[in-house]
């Protein structure tokens, strides 16, 4: 069954016949482009260096999923810190809400790794090999693959492999990745498989999928309608100044507020489409704020350059708000801008308190497996007690266990002390020997005192089980 083509392009990245319309944005080298470059290359340096930075003997960031340990700038969190990790996650979510309410998609356009690597690494390489956007389109139209495109892909592949190794270093540490790189893939097939998989995904993303990641895959863009309000900072086209569009020509700027449309002179937009051809998601910002807009400010630079040439004031496209574009004042103070920081302060304070109050070790009294006690030949009772200790300090510790039980005649411990590495755990068994009549209704209260060689200690209540009544 044949499908009739749409009368015009429905989506910026879709041709009327439903095929992909590839975006090759023209560079608009203005003031925002310069500043974004500074921020972008700074962030790339940071992204690459973070797993190699050493803070307190550990990488600055290490998300060790295998051992379920998450290290951030010297602080290591484990599953037992679930509440702290939840508060940390909540802090990030609230920060995203607040930044978006204030500054719109500034993260997408200026800081997201997808944007910074694409705009400051992969697209420049593309232009180096293929030339300006028109040349890339010609290569698309050619049958067969040109050597220029093959060479570009080759460089992409090498870069994707390098970035995949950096990405992996966040999860297994830079030292582990270095040892994998030096060794044979056969020695670490899983690690090698992950590197190959991530390399493939990165190549696919930066060579082909590109803006589709922002438009289709990223959930953040889809949340904009609820995260933004009319006073949030957006990149917008001043329709009141720009419309009706006219031909280019030097003339005096028109007043910003004009009469009714029927009486209006030609607006400042000369319909040159520079703002469209520079857009990395291919949209026309003159149609209003759209979900595809990643806030990269390229259309501002493009339009400012046209306005400069025509000797008209800059800012036909600018950082603004929906309220300002409608001729109303922009309010900075509004409910969500008050509520988010308040919630952030509460959650942040709770997070800091919890981090400060983190214990040096976790100790649990475990439930018994099997018989709760054993009657010995001499008539006494042997009750097993099991304690689990986890070292949550940043250095190895040696633990001792003391069971305080006045009703016991003897306490048997297989080991005098337990040496644990950071994050190490052990189950320590004890056997409490007591007279048969030393229990009330089949149990007796005792205390376990666990201490380490750094002076830390904790006391836990222990129930010692035994027979009910005397024989
Ligand atoms: S509309 Fe402007 S700010 Fe938005 S993505 Fe396109 S060029 Fe960037
Ligand atoms: S760059 Fe400016 S003048 Fe040119 S089409 Fe866009 S809004 Fe109009």
383-439: per-residue pLDDT in tens?
A: 999 999 988 887 899 999 999 999 888 999 989 899 998 878 899 999 999 999 889
Q: Tell which atom from ligand 2 comes closest to the C-alpha of 273.
A: 5
Q: Is 9 among the domain residues?
A: no
For residue 357, pLDDT beyond 90: no
For 111-143, what is each residue's pLDDT tens digit?
999 999 999 999 999 999 999 999 999 999 988
Look at residue 167 in the predicted model and tell me its pLDDT: 93
> Do residues 238 and 315 lie in contact, with contact meaning Cβ atoms separated by under 8 Å?
yes
- Where among 176, 209, 242 does a domain terminate? 209
Q: At 282, is the pLDDT very low, low, confident or very high (cuts 50, 70, 90)?
A: very high
The CB of 159 under 6 Å from ligand 2? The reply is: no
What CATH number should be reported for the domain holding residue 387? 2.60.40.10
Q: According to the model, what pLDDT value does residue 78 have?
A: 80
Whether 144 maps to a domain, the answer reads yes
In a domain, 291, yes or no: no
Domain of 420, in residue numbers: 361-465
Average pLDDT over the chain, rounded to an integer: 89
Q: What does the alpha-carbon distance between residue 130 and residue 154 come to, in Å, rounded to a whole number?
A: 13
In a domain, 458, yes or no: yes
* pLDDT at residue 256, as a whole number: 45
Expressed in angstroms and rounded, the spacing between residue 235 Cα and the centre of ligand 1 is 7
Per-residue pLDDT at 258: 47
The confidence band for 147, taking pLDDT boundaries of 50, 70 and 90, is very high
**Residue 264: which pLDDT band, with cuts at 50, 70 and 90?**
low
Q: Is the CB of 289 under 6 A from ligand 2?
A: no
Asked if the structure places residue 377 within a domain, the reply is yes
Lowest-pLDDT range of 234-238, 250-254, 384-388: 250-254
pLDDT tens readout for residues 43-75: 999 999 999 999 877 899 999 988 888 888 888
Q: Is the pLDDT of residue 380 over 60?
A: yes
Please work out whether the CB of residue 279 comes within 6 Å of at least one atom of ligand 1: yes
Q: Looking at the domain assignment, is residue 186 inside a domain? A: yes
pTM reported for the whole predicted model:
0.79
* pLDDT number for residue 221: 82
Q: Which of 141, 174, 209 is a domain's end point?
A: 209
At 246 the pLDDT is 79
Q: Given this model, what pLDDT does residue 168 score?
A: 92
User: Please, which pLDDT band fits residue 5 given cuts at 50, 70 and 90?
Assistant: low
168-188 confidence digits (pLDDT tens): 999 999 999 988 888 888 888
Task: Indicate whether 86 belongs to any domain.
Answer: no
Whether pLDDT at 463 is above 70: yes
Please report which ligand is nearest the Cα atom of 291. Answer: 1
167, 191, 209 - which closes a domain: 209
Nearest ligand to the C-alpha atom of residue 26: 1
Q: Is the CB of 108 under 6 A from ligand 1?
A: no
Q: What is the mean pLDDT of residues 77-103?
A: 90
Cβ of residue 272 lying under 6 Å from some atom of ligand 2: yes
In a domain, 152, yes or no: yes
| Among protein residues, the one whose CA lies closest to atom 5 of ligand 1 | 293
pLDDT (0 to 100) of residue 313: 95
Decide whether any atom of ligand 2 lies within 6 Å of the 270 Cβ: yes
Q: Which residue has the higher pLDDT, 220 or 369?
A: 220
pLDDT of 317 > 80? The answer is yes
235 lines ligand 2 (CB under 6 A): no
With tokens 């409910």, the residue in question is 335
For residue 32, the ligand closest to its alpha carbon is: 1
Instruction: Choose among 338, 280, 282, 293: nearest CA to 320.
Output: 293
Please give the tally of structural domains in the chain.
2
């Amino acid at each position: 069954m044949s499908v009739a083509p749409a009368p015009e392009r429905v989506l910026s990245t879709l041709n009327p016949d439903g095929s992909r319309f590839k975006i090759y944005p023209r560079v608009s080298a203005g003031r925002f482009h310069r500043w974004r470059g500074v921020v972008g290359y700074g962030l790339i340096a940071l992204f690459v260096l973070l797993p190699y930075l050493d803070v307190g003997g550990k990488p600055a960031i290490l998300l060790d999923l295998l051992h379920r340990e998450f290290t951030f700038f010297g602080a290591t969190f484990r599953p037992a810190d679930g509440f702290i990790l939840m508060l940390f996650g909540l802090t990030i979510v609230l920060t995203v809400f607040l930044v978006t309410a204030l500054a719109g998609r500034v993260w997408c356009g200026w800081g997201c790794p997808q944007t910074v690597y694409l705009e400051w690494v992969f697209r420049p390489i593309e232009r180096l090999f293929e030339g300006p956007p028109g040349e890339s389109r010609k290569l698309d139209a050619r049958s067969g693959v040109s050597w220029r495109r093959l060479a570009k892909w080759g460089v992409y592949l090498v870069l994707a492999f390098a970035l995949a190794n950096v990405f992996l270093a966040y999860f297994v540490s830079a030292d582990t990745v270095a040892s994998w790189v030096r060794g044979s893939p056969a020695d670490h097939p899983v690690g090698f498989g992950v590197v190959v998989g991530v390399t493939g995904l990165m190549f696919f993303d930066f060579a082909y999928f590109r803006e589709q990641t922002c438009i289709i895959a990223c959930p953040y863009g889809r949340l904009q309608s609820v995260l933004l309000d009319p006073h949030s900072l957006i990149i917008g086209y001043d329709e009141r100044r720009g419309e009706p569009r006219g031909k280019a020509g030097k003339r005096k700027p028109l007043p910003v507020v004009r009469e009714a449309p029927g009486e209006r002179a030609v607006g400042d937009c000369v319909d040159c489409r520079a703002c469209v051809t520079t857009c990395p998601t291919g949209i026309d910002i003159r149609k209003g704020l759209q979900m595809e807009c990643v806030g990269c400010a390229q259309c501002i630079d493009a339009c400012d350059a046209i306005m400069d040439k025509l000797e008209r004031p800059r800012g036909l496209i600018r950082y603004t708000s929906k309220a300002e574009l409608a001729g109303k004042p922009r309010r900075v103070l509004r409910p969500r801008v008050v509520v988010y920081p308040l919630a952030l302060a509460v959650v942040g304070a709770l997070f800091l308190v919890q981090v400060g109050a983190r214990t040096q070790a976790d100790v649990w009294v475990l439930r018994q497996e099997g018989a709760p006690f054993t009657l010995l030949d001499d008539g006494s009772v042997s009750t097993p007690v099991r304690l689990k200790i986890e070292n949550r300090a940043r250095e190895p510790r040696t633990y001792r266990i003391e069971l305080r039980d006045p009703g016991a005649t003897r306490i048997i411990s297989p080991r005098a002390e337990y040496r644990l590495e950071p994050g190490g755990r052990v189950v320590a068994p004890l056997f409490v020997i007591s007279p048969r009549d030393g229990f009330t209704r089949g149990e007796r209260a005792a205390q376990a005192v666990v201490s380490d060689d750094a002076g830390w200690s904790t006391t836990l209540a222990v129930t010692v089980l035994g027979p009910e009544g005397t024989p």
